[in-house]
Amino acid sequence: MIVGAHDWTGQLAANGLVEPIYLSPAVKKQFPAYTLNAFSYGLAVKKLYGVPTQIENIGLVVNTSLVKVPTTFAQLEKEALAYKKKVHAAFGIAVQQGANGDAYHMYPFFSGLGGYIFGTNSAGNLDPSNIGVANKAFLKNAGLIDKWNKEGLINAALTYDTAQNAFLKKQAAFYITGPWASQVLEQSGIKFKIIQLPKIVDASVPFLGVQGAMVTKYADPHGVGGLAADFVTNYLTTPAAQLSLAIANGRYPANTVAGKGVHDPVLAEFGKAGAGGVPMPNIPQMNSVWADLGAAWVKATKGSGATPAKTAFSAAARSIADKIG
């Protein structure tokens, strides 16, 4: 068996490397539908290939000693720029990108402007021929990215380390990150609250990541096919196992019964920040998206000499379509 991210599912299933698994209706009821869908794959008939164990997403971390918790994007923008001016920073919101870009951390801005990765077909399955990276609604709103770049709300130069250090050293009052930073935040002494990025034009929902366990095709040849399937489907699905993993890894459990046993306020706030989020597409064609989408954000938010957002994202969409074929 292997433990991994749900967006591995399509590639592994398409290559015949993981086996379908079967859960009873009673067990399925303990998991949000999107977590099961995240580990499901099939062009005609979807099959379940993994047991969801943990969920995660990013949120907007607000230093409540420095600024008010924003309820609108306009308020966020105003407060972030005011604080930027006060401390003479080069950015208003600390969100990582770096030279190669980071489409994952930028996704709430992308969704908030009407962007999407893939549409769905009549069967409800992801359709790689429907690429929403430069759809009409997004391009209509893309001028806001140019505005953010000009005023310095977002700066592509920030990396994981520089974004985090900016927040910890109070060079930024707003920081976008996920539960992997929980311990650092809790030990910082900073008073903070985690919320979902406020709605821009549409809801600024994050990508949702689901971790889970899958049975590989190598289980049977090694004589442990039944054992591996039993461990994954009958043990790792239990509230007790899921709660243990959640406590050990600092991630919210996928099992809703186990979730009631989580009393960590930071994990709970990250969970709320994921409301309405979009599971990262688990089809193989997603591999052709990350680099171009991340690069489009870098080109459009690198400050002086930036490419107009409409141009950058249109080019990214064409490149992605060419790669997918």
Residues 178 and 295 in one domain: yes
Residues 266 and 299 in one domain: no
**What pLDDT score does 103 carry?**
98
Residues 96 and 172 in one domain: yes
Checking if the pLDDT of 17 tops 80, the result is: yes
Residues 297 and 173 in one domain: yes
**What pLDDT score does 264 carry?**
87
* Rg, Å, the chain Cα set: 20
Residues 162 and 219 in one domain: no
Residues 40 and 99 in one domain: no
For residue 45, name the pLDDT band (cuts at 50, 70, 90): confident
Checking if the pLDDT of 43 tops 80, the result is: no
Tell me the percentage of the chain whose pLDDT exceeds 90.
Answer: 86
Checking if the pLDDT of 134 tops 90, the result is: yes
**What pLDDT score does 122 carry?**
81
Q: Quote the number of domains for the chain.
A: 2
Residues 118 and 211 in one domain: no
Residues 232-282 have pLDDT tens digits of 999 999 999 999 998 888 888 999 999 888 888 998 899 889 988 999 998
Checking if the pLDDT of 153 tops 90, the result is: yes
Among 58-67, 141-150, 262-271, the minimum mean pLDDT is found in: 262-271
Question: Which is more confident, 203 or 125?
Answer: 203
Structural domain including 263 reads: 2-56+207-275
Checking if the pLDDT of 24 tops 90, the result is: yes
Single pTM value for the model: 0.89
Residues 138 and 74 in one domain: yes
3-state secondary structure the chain: CEEEEHHHHHHHHHCCCECCCCCCHHHHCCCCHHHHHHCEECCCCCEECCEEEEEECCEEEEECCCCCCCCCHHHHHHHHHHHHHHHCCCCCCECCCCCCCCCCCCHHHHHHCCCCCEEECCCCCEEEEEECCCCHHHHHHCHHHHHHHHHCCCCCCCCHHHHHHHHHCCCCCEEEECHHHHHHHHHCCCCEEEECCCCCCCCCCCEEEEEEEECECCCCCCCCHHHHHHHHHHHCCCHHHHHHHHHHHCCEECCHHHHCCCCCHHHHHHHHHCCCCEECCCCHHHHHCHHHHHHHHHHHCCCCCCCCHHHHHHHHHHHHHHHHC
Residues 299 and 268 in one domain: no
Checking if the pLDDT of 133 tops 90, the result is: yes
State the CATH number of the domain containing residue 267: 3.40.190.10
**What pLDDT score does 192 carry?**
98
Mean pLDDT of 75-85: 98
**What pLDDT score does 263 carry?**
87
Residues 126 and 258 in one domain: no
